[in-house]
Structure 1
Amino acid sequence: MPDYTLYGTPRSRAFRVLWMLHELELPFNHHPEPPQSAAVRAVHPGGKIPVLVADGTPISDSSAILTYLVDRHGGLTHPAGTLDRARQDALHFRILDEIDALLWTAARHSFVLPEAERVPAIKDSLKTEFTRNAARLADDLGAAPFLMGDTLSLPDIVLGHCLGWAKLAKFPALPDPLDAYLARMRARPAYARAAA
């Protein structure tokens, strides 16, 4: 079994990795360190979180970590080189582009950037775009329990995290199908373990 140590606070993109580790039922150590802490910089000089140290090798970026975990352990993914994997990757990248990027830009202009560099007015346009993108995702989800149909996969972890982040950031209300989807994601035992 690989030796995994995760660095990052649960109130960050590290939550996605925590959730994935629990979904895959993998043992790991967790250091809930904030970005730029001495402990994080010791394993990854850039200081960004999350960082997963796998068998002594640090991996940064939540999407890279999630992809590594599902590929290495063969769960919550479709095999590389298949059309289902191409669809899965397209959903993953779409969520990063159309949902995650908007939330991160809003965060940067709320508290991440130095105050003199913030443009608070940008958040209104980000929320409008979020509403439009969330409506399209809700239409695409339809009555399916998960983004890829009947089976939880990597994009569900990313979207489930992003939708919870949107609620915390007081973004516009989710369309009913996405609100019900988020409730299903939060009801998963692995989600509860990660949140604890």
Structure 2
Amino acid sequence: MLTIHGVTRSRASRIIWLCHEIGLPFRQHPVIQAYRLPDPDAADAPLNTHSASFRKLSPGGAIPVIEDDGLVLSESYAILLYLARKHAAPLGPASPEEDALMLQWCFQAATSIEPDALTLLFLHGRGQAQSGEDQALVANAAERLIRPLRVVEDQLARHGYLVGNRFTVADIAMAETIRYAQGYGPLMEQFPAIGQWLVDAQGRPGFQKMWQARLSEPE
């Protein structure tokens, strides 16, 4: 059985959502991010990304990591694409061309959207007071996101989905990435097609099952 290492309040959410979408059973080992703990190296600390046992599995100390039939794989986008190819028709690629397009959208999410979207999440999305410097960082991150989000907006406005005119793993990857910026109204109100697509994607039973599990975890 597939084993997912990582709490649901992490990029493991993407993997768990996909598993629920396709009915793929899995075990979850709730490895928590070390930065969320006051002393991750304490003797009584929960299993975390600094734990020696986890670092044997993931030398880089990052979650999620999966184990599947002897394969140990990290990096959430790579995991999504691997599982989609192995299990997830019709969410996976139906042709080499679709496979390439799914790679394209995952690369765009990872390189052009996620870094600045995370800035919005950490400095704006959690509702904390912002210094003047943080406000500038938020404004700059939002400005940088306009161009890549316009690309996504145009695709969704014309086709409804990212690949193959159907919901696929590319939509999961992109939706979970854009979710980091979803709470920043001055940016997201510029992209109505993305907004509706997020509502539809997050209304799916697979997302809802993952989200309830996420909410049940400690913050």
Note the C-alpha offset of 1:167.
Answer: 2.2
Change (3 A) 1:136 1:74: closer
Structure with the greater alpha carbon radius of gyration: 2
Equivalent residues of 1:92, 1:154 under 8 A apart: no
What is the aligned counterpart of 1:190 among 195, 203, 206?
206
Partner residue, 2:161:
146
User: Is 2:50 aligned against 1:52?
Assistant: no
What TM-score, normalized by structure 1, do the two folds share? 0.81
Alignment of 1:89-104 (within 5 A): 89-104=103-118
SS in 2 for 1:33: coil
Note the C-alpha offset of 1:87.
Answer: 2.2
Equivalent residues of 1:14, 1:49 under 8 A apart: yes
Change (3 A) 1:183 1:69: same
Q: How many residues are matched?
A: 185
User: What residue ranges of structure 2 are gaps of 5+ in the alignment?
Assistant: 35-47, 125-132, 213-219
What TM-score, normalized by structure 2, do the two folds share? 0.74
SS in 2 for 1:142: helix
Equivalent residues of 1:7, 1:30 under 8 A apart: yes
1:147-169 deviation per Cα after TM superposition (whole angstroms, max 9, x unaligned): 12431112101111122221257
Q: For 1:72 and 1:142, how far apart are their aligned partners in 2? A: 30
Task: Give the share of equivalent positions with the same residue, in percent.
Answer: 26
Partner residue, 2:170:
155
Q: For 1:107 and 1:177, how far apart are their aligned partners in 2? A: 21
CA RMSD in angstroms comes to 2.5
User: What residue ranges of structure 1 are gaps of 5+ in the alignment?
Assistant: 111-118
Instruction: List, as ranges, runs of 4+ consecutive aligned residues in structure 1 with deviation greater than 4 Å.
Output: 105-110, 168-171
1:91-117 deviation per Cα after TM superposition (whole angstroms, max 9, x unaligned): 22122222113224566889xxxxxxx
